[in-house]
Amino acid sequence: MKILTFNAGSSTYKSCLYEITEGIPQEAPAPIWEAKVDWSHHQGTAEIQVKTATGGNLEEQISADSHSAIITHLLDTLCQGSTQVIQELGEIDVVGHRVVHGGRKYSESIKITAEVKNAIAHLSNIAPVHNPVNLEGIEVMEQHLDVPQIAVFDTAFHSHIPDAAAIYPGAYEWIQQDIRRYGFHGISYQYCTQRAAQILDQDINSLRIITCHLGNGCSLVAIKNGRSIDTTMGFTPLDGLMMGSRSGAIDPGILIHLLRQGNYTVEELDHLLNRDSGLKGISGISGDMRQIYHEIAQGNNRAKLAFDIYIHRLKSCIGSMIASLGGLDVLIFTGGVGENSAEVRSQVSDAFSFLGVEIDRQKNQQKPVDINISMPTSKVRLLVIHTQEDWQIACECWQCLN
C-alpha cells in the first residue's frame, strides 16, 4: 500500500510517500519520497526541497499565487524529473492528513467525508491558524486523487483526559459550549509513546511518562497506562508553555486590562499573543532557540531573560505533570528544541535531581537520537526521541483501511 501523508501548516508544508506491504514494521522506515515547502521567508515565493530514498534531490524556488498551485507542483515531482518515484498518481492508495483540531467528536482517525470536512471547517474558529489550511490541503488533494483520504487529529490522543483536568473553572455553561482542554501535538505524542516502549523494551502501560514536545510550538503531556491524562495546551494551542512566538499561559486579567485601556483590538491581541510573544516577544530577536543562544553568547540580556523564562516555565509545568501522574518513570524530549538543545535537557534534568534524575552528560552532548541519556543509577529514564509524525499518520492510514 502506497500512502501519501500531508501536513499543511500556515507557512510550511511537509509531505511523504511511504509503502507498507506486510503490516507495520517496528521501526519507522525512510519515506520513498519526501517534500518540504516553506514560503515564510519571501512573500509570494515558495522554497521547495524534495528528496527520494534512492538519492534524487530537488531544490528550487517558485513563484506561487496560491497554496493550491504549490500542492499541484509537489504532486508533479512524484511522477517526473529527478525525484520521480511512481509512474502516475493513480498508484497512490490513500492520503493521510494531519488535522490539528478534531473537537470532542473525533477521538480517533477517520475517513474523510463531507461531514468530516464540515466539522473541520466549523472548528476553524478555535484553531484559525491551522484548521483552514488543513482543510485546504484535503480539498486540493481531492481534486487530484480519487482515493480514500484519512484525517488524523492532533487532539485525538488527548480525548480521554479526565474531566477534572479538561474542564475549565469558569461558567458551567462552558461545558455545553465544548469549551474545555483539548490538547495538541497528539500525533507526535502517540509516536513517541510507542517508540519509548520499544527503546526501553517495556510495557507502555507500566510506565508514567512525561513527554516534552519542544519546537516552535511547545507542550507537555502526562501519560499513564498509555493514555494522556493531562497536558499543557488547552482549548487552543496558545495555552501552557512559553513558545517560539506564542505567550503560553498568562493571567487573563492582562487581556481585560489591555482591552479596557483601548490600546488593542481583538485581532491585534490575537496577533500579539500568537505571533509576537514568547521567545520572540521577550528577546525582540527571534522565536528560534538557535538565534537566542547566539545572542546570549554576544551578551544580549533580553535573549538571556527569554531563555530563563522559558526554562522556568518548562520546569514549573513538568512539576505539575508529575503531580498528575503521582510520580515519574520516563521523561522524553522531542521536537526541534527537545531533540537538539543539550542545554535545555541538562537544565530540566538538573532541576529534578531531588527525584533521583541523573543525566549522562557525555551522551547528552553527542546529539542523541532515540536513545536513553540517563545514568544507569537514575531513577527516571531520560529519552531523546526524533518524532516522526508523518510515519505515525501513515500507520493510522494503514490501520483505518485494514
Distance CA 187, CA 194 (A): 11
Query: Read out DSSP for 198-215?
Result: HHHTS-GGG-EEEEEEES
Distance CA 67, CA 72 (A): 9
Cα dihedral: 121, 127, 132, 133 (round 10): -140
Strands 149-153 and 94-99: parallel
3-state secondary structure of 307: helix
Distance CA 366, CA 364 (A): 6
Catalytic residue positions? Answer: 154
Cα dihedral: 149, 155, 157, 163 (round 10): -140
Distance CA 30, CA 14 (A): 14
Distance CA 349, CA 366 (A): 16
User: Which residue, among 182, 155, 100, 95, has the nearest Cα to 133 in the 3D structure?
Assistant: 100
Strands 208-214 and 218-224: antiparallel
